Amino acid sequence: MNAENKKRNVILDCDPGIDDCLALMLALRSPELNVLGITTVCGNVPAALGAKNALKILKRYGRLDIPVYVGEEKPLRREYVSAQDTHGEDGMGDSGLSEVEEVSPLPGAVDFLNRTLKEQQEVSVIALGPLTNVAKALEADPQAWRRLREFVSMGGNFKSFGNCSPVAEYNYWCDPDAAAFVYENLPVRIHMIGLDVTRKIVLRPDILEYICQICPEEGEFIRKITRFYFDFHWEQEEVLGCVINDPLAVAYFIDPSLCRGLDLYTGVAVEGIALGQTVCDEKGFWKKAPNSRVLTQTDTEGFMRLFLSRVAGAEEPQLSRVLRQLYPAACRNSIEGGQQDA
Ligand code: RIB
Ligand code: CA
């Protein structure tokens, strides 16, 4: 909550997507947030499919009152390349969950973003997928975006290697023109939750086992949608578990102390071998004012404390006992990662 203890108005722009689903679950379980709507964009899966997946999460939490709007079906310029190899054909680990019949997704994500920014107060946007919707909306009505409160984007990377090219992270690689446009034109600072910090957030088998022990229904659901993702991570990077990028963006929006970073000017490469790479001007070569806060360190244990308490209902003093098991003293209560704060 902010000073007045008010819920913070937020739109989640996403491409569900397994980690997007976990991020939606965290957001819906967090009393600080008033989720005004969900917009889906072409990314992990086509936007229309992502919208159906978002409805499945909303239904599980009895929140079909929250509208879901379908956004852009293809990037601004590039051919659309999904990430269904990572998230499954259905975008939820090929878990075969039944479709939501009670409500349908609505068209017009871009219009919803701009309308809501104009009609509501203090609206923030947490972007968990490619920035195509945001770029289209910003281009269509820049005045609306001058009312934007805060903007957090899961995407990019500072010093970490890419996940879909040696140097590029998927969200910004999928639509580099949109990312470049947003980084050049958004009127507020972009909080960039990139791979440097999200790679520290691993849903490990022991953590999933804890969730299953204390909240079997949630645990089994998470196990169902992440099995595909676990297999992908083992085959691709011999990681036991799965990196859950998007929930960190939501957690950071709720509690900014979970990450530290640098205020830098960031540009996005839109062509060539480095297509989609975020180029963060750490040394000020380009003498441009910072347009982003590039998060470079994160409190992994602090994130997991928030995630487990909200999504699995973990309670003290058990939660602290289990976190001591999960994160031995060596890295507890510490901000992990690279660069110091600015
Ligand atoms: O590169 C990771 C990001 O791309 C995550 O948001 C994941 O869901 C995909 O959208
Ligand atoms: Ca995503």
| DSSP secondary structure letters along 286-321 | T-----EEEEEEE-HHHHHHHHHHHHS---TTHHHH
Please choose from 25, 87, 154 the residue to mutate so as to test ligand 1's pocket, defined by most ligand atoms within 8 A of CB.
154
Q: Are 251 and 306 in contact (CB under 8 A)?
A: yes
Please choose from 21, 198, 203, 245 the residue to mutate so as to test ligand 1's pocket, defined by most ligand atoms within 8 A of CB.
245
CATH class, 8-203+244-299 region: alpha beta
Residue 6 confidence class, pLDDT cut points 50, 70, 90: confident
Taking alpha carbons only, the member of 158, 159, 163, 157 closest to residue 236 is 163
Report pLDDT for 340: 47
Question: Measured in angstroms, how far is the CA atom of residue 187 from the centroid of ligand 2?
Answer: 23
Report pLDDT for 337: 55
DSSP state of 93: T
Asked if residue 3 has pLDDT above 60, the reply is no
Q: Tell me the DSSP string of 113-173.
A: HHHHHHHSSS-EEEE-S-SHHHHHHHHH-HHHHTT---EEEE---SSS--SSSSS--HHHH
Question: Measured in angstroms, how far is the CA atom of residue 2 from the centroid of ligand 1?
Answer: 28
Question: Measured in angstroms, how far is the CA atom of residue 2 from the centroid of ligand 2?
Answer: 26
Q: What angle do CA 284, 289, 292 make, to 5 degrees?
A: 95
User: Which ligand 1 atom is the nearest neighbour of the CA of 198?
Assistant: 2
Residue 68 confidence class, pLDDT cut points 50, 70, 90: very high
Of all ligands present, the nearest one to the C-alpha of 13 is: 2
Residues forming beta bridges with residue 259, ordered by sequence position: 298
Taking alpha carbons only, the member of 171, 328, 191, 209 closest to residue 266 is 191
Q: What angle do CA 226, 229, 231 make, to 5 degrees?
A: 115
Report pLDDT for 99: 97
User: Which ligand 1 atom is the nearest neighbour of the CA of 169?
Assistant: 1
119/27 Cα distance (integer angstroms): 22
Report pLDDT for 23: 99
**pLDDT (tens digit per residue) in 238-276:** 999 999 999 999 999 999 999 999 999 999 999 999 999
Residue 342 confidence class, pLDDT cut points 50, 70, 90: very low
Question: Measured in angstroms, how far is the CA atom of residue 87 from the centroid of ligand 1?
Answer: 10
Q: Please state whether the peptide bond connecting residue 17 to the residue before it is cis, i.e. omega within 30 degrees of 0.
A: yes
**pLDDT (tens digit per residue) in 82-132:** 999 999 999 999 999 999 999 999 999 999 999 999 999 999 999 999 999
For residue 42, what are the CA distances in angstroms to 47, 68, 338? 4, 14, 32
Question: Measured in angstroms, how far is the CA atom of residue 90 from the centroid of ligand 1?
Answer: 15
pTM: 0.95
For residues 212-247, b (16+ Cβ closer than 10 Å) or e, as one string?
bebbeebbebbbebbbbbbebbeeeeeeebbbbbbb
Phi, psi angle pair for 43, to nearest 5°: -165, -115
Of all ligands present, the nearest one to the C-alpha of 156 is: 1
Q: Whose CA is nearest to atom 10 of ligand 1?
A: 129
**pLDDT (tens digit per residue) in 135-187:** 999 999 999 999 999 999 999 999 999 999 999 999 999 999 999 999 999 99
For residue 149, what are the CA distances in angstroms to 105, 227, 267? 26, 36, 22
Asked if residue 35 has pLDDT above 60, the reply is yes
Taking alpha carbons only, the member of 31, 85, 86, 95 closest to residue 57 is 95
User: Which ligand 1 atom is the nearest neighbour of the CA of 20?
Assistant: 8
Q: Please state whether the peptide bond connecting residue 317 to the residue before it is cis, i.e. omega within 30 degrees of 0.
A: yes
Question: Measured in angstroms, how far is the CA atom of residue 174 from the centroid of ligand 1?
Answer: 10
Using a pLDDT cut of 70, give the percent of the chain over it: 95
What's the chain's average pLDDT? Answer: 95
Residue ranges around ligand 1 (CB below 6 Å): 15, 17, 19-20, 43-44, 83, 128-129, 154, 163, 169-171, 245-246
User: Which ligand 1 atom is the nearest neighbour of the CA of 245?
Assistant: 5
Asked if residue 208 has pLDDT above 50, the reply is yes
A 10 A CB-CB count for 193 gives: 33
Average pLDDT over residues 34-54: 98
User: Which ligand 1 atom is the nearest neighbour of the CA of 16?
Assistant: 8
Residue corresponding to tokens 């068209």: 107
Whether the CA torsion 60, 66, 72, 76 is positive or negative: it is negative
